[in-house]
């Protein structure tokens, strides 16, 4: 005699599921439910810590300062007098809307206002982004960003600079807009395409350098004459690189003057999969301010 349970047969279009089929399906679903919840928790907690950056999306802030177009478009905001009666300032690098640098917006403003902004007091309205005590501002022509332009007569300010010499530093090339608040993560492989698109759109490339204890330096990267090298460094963005250049500190930011891609080497664990012209593995945390001693492929 045939076992009745064994002889049960499931037909999808019949409203009722045979008991043994229904029981196994129920068991499957009941096992899957805690598994799904557990996986959700596990995957969520295993994510790398999100960055602390902030993008004040939808909020416009007015800031008054002196505009300089070099080394990257920036606004210097006077913060007060120091102990020795000297002027101090905070530098706010400017970036554009979307995945663009600020040059386009500044050029549009200059045309509209029939004025050259470099070295002028301006009151600029834009969207702030900030992280780690440093701030940047998004300038969008749609925000009607300039409310005032004046000559710098009351407080002439020279762009003082400090030569830090020729150095080699290891880090990752990032686009500052995403890193300082627009995206999390704003660095690493998942963000690579976006960083490339931002830098190709004129965003000033920045080298993010971290030491063993988590302290960070940021270097704006420019050509040896201070010109843009954005288009020639595409293949080095968002991966570990070593860059050699002349470092100059302008107040609260450091700028690295390089010879473009010739000054950059990609760092990877394996030489097997590396594109041509990159170097083999270097020990992390090697001697700074010195060209890597790794063999070149």
Instruction: Report which DSSP code applies to 50.
Output: P
**Measured from the CB of residue 201, what is the shortest distance to other proteins in angstroms?**
5
CA nearest 105: which of 134, 143, 72?
Answer: 143
The string of DSSP letters for 246-275 reads: EEEEETTEEEEEE-GGGGEEEB-S-STTPP
- Binding to other proteins (CB under 8 A) within 178-237 occurs at 183-185, 188-194, 196-198, 200-201, 209-212, 215-217, 234-235
- CA within 13 Å, CB half, 175: 31
Of 85 and 114, the one with the shorter C-beta distance to other proteins is 85
* Position 154 contacts other proteins (CB under 8 A): no
- How many CB atoms neighbour CB 46 within 10 A? 7
- Binding to other proteins (CB under 8 A) within 268-297 occurs at 268-270, 272-275, 281, 284-286, 288-289
Q: Are 73 and 137 in contact (CB under 8 A)?
A: no
| CA 65 to chain CA centroid, nearest Å | 24
Q: Are 230 and 200 in contact (CB under 8 A)?
A: yes
How many Å apart are CA 118 and CA 137, to the nearest integer?
Answer: 17
Q: Which stretch binds other proteins (CB under 8 A): 41-49, 110-118, 143-151, 153-161?
A: 41-49
What is the number of residues in the chain? 297
* Position 165 contacts other proteins (CB under 8 A): no
Q: Which stretch binds other proteins (CB under 8 A): 7-15, 105-113, 117-125, 149-157?
A: 7-15
* Position 14 contacts other proteins (CB under 8 A): yes
**Measured from the CB of residue 227, what is the shortest distance to other proteins in angstroms?**
19
Q: Is 249 exposed, middle or buried (0-12, 13-18, 19+ CB in 10 A)?
A: middle
- Binding to other proteins (CB under 8 A) within 233-272 occurs at 234-235, 239-242, 247, 252, 254, 266-270, 272
Give the SS3 label for residue 174. Answer: strand
Query: Alpha-carbon torsion 77, 245, 186, 145, what sign?
Result: positive
**Measured from the CB of residue 116, what is the shortest distance to other proteins in angstroms?**
25
**Measured from the CB of residue 146, what is the shortest distance to other proteins in angstroms?**
17
Of 58 and 114, the one with the shorter C-beta distance to other proteins is 58
- Binding to other proteins (CB under 8 A) within 67-96 occurs at 77, 79-83, 85, 88, 90, 92
Q: Which stretch binds other proteins (CB under 8 A): 32-40, 109-117, 152-160, 255-263?
A: 32-40
**20 is written with which tokens?**
């043994």
Q: Which stretch binds other proteins (CB under 8 A): 11-19, 105-113, 117-125, 255-263?
A: 11-19
- Binding to other proteins (CB under 8 A) within 106-135 occurs at 128, 130-135
């Amino acid at each position: 005699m045939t076992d009745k349970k064994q002889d049960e047969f499931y037909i999808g279009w019949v409203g009722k599921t045979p008991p043994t089929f229904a029981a196994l399906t129920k068991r499957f679903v009941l096992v899957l439910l805690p598994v799904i919840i557990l996986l959700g928790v596990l995957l969520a907690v295993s994510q790398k810590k999100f960055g602390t950056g902030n993008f004040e999306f939808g909020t416009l802030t007015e800031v008054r300062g002196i505009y300089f177009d070099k080394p990257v478009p920036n606004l210097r905001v006077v913060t007060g007098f120091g102990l020795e009666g000297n002027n101090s300032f905070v530098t706010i690098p400017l970036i554009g809307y979307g995945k663009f640098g600020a040059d386009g917006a500044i050029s549009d403003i200059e045309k509209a206002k029939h004025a050259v902004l470099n070295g002028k007091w301006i009151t600029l309205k834009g969207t702030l982004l900030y992280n780690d005590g440093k701030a940047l501002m998004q300038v969008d022509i749609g925000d009607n960003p300039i409310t005032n332009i004046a000559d710098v007569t009351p407080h002439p300010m020279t762009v003082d600079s400090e030569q830090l010499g020729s150095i080699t530093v290891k880090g990752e090339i990032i686009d500052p807009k995403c890193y300082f608040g627009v995206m999390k993560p704003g660095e690493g492989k998942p963000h690579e395409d976006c960083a490339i698109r931002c830098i190709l759109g004129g965003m000033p490339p920045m080298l993010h350098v971290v030491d063993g204890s988590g302290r960070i330096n940021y270097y704006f990267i420019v050509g040896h004459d201070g010109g843009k090298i954005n288009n020639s460094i595409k293949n080095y963005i968002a991966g570990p690189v070593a860059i050699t250049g002349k470092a100059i500190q302008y107040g609260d930011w450091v700028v690295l003057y390089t010879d473009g891609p010739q000054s950059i080497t990609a760092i990877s664990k394996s030489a097997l999969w590396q594109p041509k012209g990159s170097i083999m593995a270097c020990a992390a945390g090697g001697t700074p301010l010195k060209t890597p001693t790794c063999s070149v492929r």
